[in-house]
Amino acid sequence: MRTLILGSTSRYRRELLGRLGLPFEVAAPEVDETPRPGEPPAELARRLALAKAHDVAQRHPEAVVIGSDQVADLDGEPLGKPGDHGRATAQLRRMSGRTVIFQTAVAVVCRSSGLVQQDLAPVRVEFRRLSHEEIERYLQAERPYDCAGSAKSEGLGIALLDAIHSDDPTALVGLPLIRTCRMLRAAGLQVP
């Protein structure tokens, strides 16, 4: 069986992939994640997921490599990881009472076999109207500064939401496992 490599430094993706019970390694992709001028969030997520998988696969041509990326899409504008409290506060204020599409892309590449697969798992998230106090309490409690959209639905961030609409529930956390499993089976891996 080929080595499976997750081309990501995300602990969330690592935890999700671990659910499948497959042995895997982790390698950090070296990809410039700067959006191109006018690039829609869905295209940005797709491009970065594929670039990450290709970058790691170039260094490990016999391996099956997973690349993934998520971009929060607010009316066609990409929202990245906030990085700090001030930007997280601003993001949550902007998303309050609005619907945000979390564009989560996944790609699976194996250079030696020629396999290249890619898919997008959009997740529509409806945020409640949030008061300044609610935003502040949430950010102090969870500090989601490394998450696109400044909220962790798998934690306390679920309290900020009215609804989540998705056909691949783990996509919102950062790796759409239903789609990933499909691609891993196409790569010849046995899942489960």
Which amino acids are annotated catalytic?
A: 69
CA 180 – CA 34 distance, rounded (Å) = 25
Would residue 99 count as lying in a domain? yes
> What confidence tens digit (pLDDT) does each residue in 31-71 have?
999 999 999 999 999 999 999 999 999 999 999 999 999 99
Contacts of 90 (CB under 8 A, 6+ apart): 82
**Pairwise CA distance, residues 72 & 100, whole Å:** 7
The yes-or-no verdict on residue 1 having pLDDT over 90 is no
Total domains, the chain: 1
Closest among 70, 72, 62 to 115, alpha carbons compared: 62
pLDDT at 40: 96
Position 58 scores a pLDDT of 97
CA 130/CA 91 separation, integer angstroms: 12
Identify the CA nearest to 82 among candidates 94, 74, 91, 73: 91
13 belongs to a structural domain = yes
Token pair, residue 123, equals 């997740």
Please name which of 116, 107, 150, 117 lies closest in space to residue 13, comparing C-alpha atoms.
Answer: 107
**Digit-coded pLDDT (tens) for 98-108:** 999 999 999 99
81 assigned to some structural domain: yes
Instruction: Note down the domain range covering 9.
Output: 4-186
Q: Identify the CATH number of the domain in which residue 181 sits.
A: 3.90.950.10
The band of 25, judged by pLDDT with boundaries at 50, 70 and 90, is very high
Q: Predicted confidence band at 112 (pLDDT cuts at 50, 70, 90)?
A: very high
Please report, as a single letter, which amino acid is at residue 163.
A
- Report the percentage of the chain scoring pLDDT > 70: 100
Q: What pLDDT shows up at residue 55?
A: 98
The confidence score (pLDDT) of residue 92 equals: 97
Is 191 inside any structural domain? no
